[in-house]
Amino acid sequence: MMGKEIERKFIVKNDIWDNFKKPVPSFIRQGYLLITDETTIRVRYTETKGTMTIKGKQQGISRDEYEYEIPLDEAKEIFKNHCPKTLSKNRYKIPVESVVWEVDEYINNLSGLIIAEVELSSEHQQIEPLPEWIGEEVTMDVSVPFSVSV
């Protein structure tokens, strides 16, 4: 079966987020082997896990997505030797109602950017009420987070 990602993205209201009681985040390093209008290929690793992800062109709020776990040492090696664009972020997983929000606080050259994403089971799934720290929706802006140079 073809992998599908159905996701909405939002800018986080930093002032409200700063005062929100958060769970412990996981630290993620992410590097891009390929970024085109049609395909993105990235490698990502945390303290315990490496993944390789291939994403297709976004169509509405959906796109093809294939993600594979790879050995952690290989993920680090690919990141170091083959990724011209990289980023680091702290990811918080926050359950709200029937969904889990993934909130990414970007670090280093993207510092100050905080994006919340929510994966949905269908394009028509409702996510009301939105958490108070959710701001402008940027789902259709395929440049986020690359609107800030990486």
- By the 8 A CB rule, do 94 and 100 touch? yes
Annotation marks residue 32 as catalytic: yes
pLDDT of residue 140: 86
CATH topology of domain 4-137: Hypothetical Protein Pfu-838710-001 (2.40.320)
Exposed, middle or buried by CB within 10 Å (0-12, 13-18, 19+), for 101?
Answer: buried
> pLDDT grade, residue 69 (50/70/90)?
very high
pLDDT of residue 147: 46
Q: Give the active site residue among 32, 45, 92, 106.
A: 32
Q: Which of 45, 65, 67 is nearest to 55 (CA)?
A: 65
Whole-number average pLDDT of the chain: 91
pLDDT of residue 148: 39
Q: Which of 86, 104, 74, 69 is nearest to 149 (CA)?
A: 86
Percent of the chain with pLDDT over 70: 93
Please give the single-letter amino acid code of residue 35: I
Locate the DSSP E strands across 13-150. Answer: 26-35, 39-45, 50-56, 62-70, 85-96, 99-107, 114-119, 134-137
Domain spans of the chain, in order of start: 4-137
Percent of the chain with pLDDT over 90: 81
Exposed, middle or buried by CB within 10 Å (0-12, 13-18, 19+), for 66?
Answer: middle
The whole-number average pLDDT for the span 66-78 is: 98
- By the 8 A CB rule, do 87 and 106 touch? yes
Q: Tens digit of pLDDT for each residue in 101-137? A: 999 999 988 888 999 999 999 999 999 889 999 999 9
Q: Tens digit of pLDDT for each residue in 19-52? A: 999 999 999 999 999 999 899 999 999 999 999 9
Higher pLDDT, 52 or 140: 52
